[in-house]
């Protein structure tokens, strides 16, 4: 997901997620590949976003990744909470600062 975003590869970004995925960005909710693709166009690759991983930790079954975000949209550091199924992201929740 980080590599796909940084490469600007929309198809690879969407492919990181399960078909029934859930994405929440500061309370805004997106579902499935169509929702993730929409968010990617308006808030991620569409905003020329670049991620830098600052740290990771496991929290039960979830992974919390601290990312510094730069680009033409949000700029700052946020925690992204991931749940995975196999080698895909089942859910990604971006926590407000």
Give all domains of the chain, ordered by start, each with its CATH number: 2-94 (3.10.450.50)
Q: Edge to edge, what strands does the sheet with 17-25 contain? A: 28-31, 17-25, 88-94, 76-85, 62-70, 50-59
Say if residue 97's pLDDT is above 90.
Answer: no
**Taken in order 71, 30, 65, 12, is the CA torsion positive or negative?**
negative
Long-range contacts of 40-44 (CB under 8 A, 24+ apart): 40/10, 40/13, 40/14, 41/10, 43/73, 43/74, 44/5, 44/13, 44/73
Q: Is the pTM of this model over 0.75?
A: yes
Instruction: Encode pLDDT of 26-83 as tens digits.
Output: 999 999 999 999 999 999 999 999 999 999 999 999 999 999 999 999 999 999 999 9
Q: Which pLDDT belongs to residue 96?
A: 80
């Amino acid at each position: 997901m980080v590599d796909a975003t940084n490469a600007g590869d929309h198809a690879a970004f969407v492919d990181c997620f399960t078909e029934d995925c859930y994405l929440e960005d500061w309370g805004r909710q997106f579902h499935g590949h169509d929702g993730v693709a929409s968010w990617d166009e308006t808030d991620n690759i569409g905003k020329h976003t670049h991620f830098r991983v600052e740290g990771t930790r496991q929290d039960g079954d979830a992974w919390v990744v601290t990312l510094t975000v730069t680009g033409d949209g949000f700029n700052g550091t946020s925690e992204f909470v991931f749940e995975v199924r196999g080698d895909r992201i089942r859910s990604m929740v971006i926590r407000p600062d």
